[in-house]
Chains A and B, each alone.
Chain A
């Protein structure tokens, strides 16, 4: 069982470059999420999608865009990367928003120089 798959695992960008982080789940979950994890800050929600066709901002959405491509896939795009976006990014999915456990991918470690 693959669960939640994130690509790439590691990425280094220069300031101003763009990139898209990919996430796919094979559990037929309705809800999907993007979190970032920084030392001493815990996990902070960037964007989430409660169901296919909907997306909503989380706690720290500035500088990011998302696309819920279909029920399986939820991508996160950085249009113009900044050093403040250096972080570990986690995608997660759940059957429903807030009432069922989250299943996490293994993360993408992004460094912006």
Chain B
């Protein structure tokens, strides 16, 4: 069963705008990870945030985690056409620490 669910399913913005994607999950987690997938390619890891962390930054990416609401958000600032991709959240929890992926948000950045 899917653990993380991204929202929205699709997002279209103009270059230079900020993009925010959300992820909700159902059970307690050890960590939450965000990945990017360009069309026809494998997933690329962006950020890992642990359950005891609230915010992490990497370049133009900002991830927040609210364990009380069981949700996370990924903010991409000053978006570029090259940011066009699908973005997935993945959660790790339980005794076996397997990663479970959501269905993704398709981000389109228009030049």
Contact = CB atoms under 8 A, between A and B. Distances in A.
Interface stretch (B11-19, B38-46, B71-79): B38-46
Contacts of A107: 40-42
Interface stretch (A41-49, A61-69, A74-82): A41-49
A45 B97 contact: no
Interface in B90-111: 90, 92, 96-104
Contact of A98 (B1, B30, B102): B30
A34 interface: no
Nearest to B99: A98
Interface residues of A, number: 28
A99 B30 contact: yes
Interface of A: 4, 33, 35, 40-45, 48, 50, 56, 58-59, 90, 92, 96-107
5 contacts: A45-B99, A92-B43, A98-B92, A101-B45, A105-B42
Given A41-B103, A42-B104, A102-B45, 19 more contacts: A40-B103, A42-B101, A42-B103, A43-B43, A45-B98, A48-B98, A92-B43, A96-B97, A97-B98, A98-B92, A98-B98, A98-B99, A99-B31, A99-B97, A101-B45, A102-B33, A102-B35, A104-B42, A105-B42
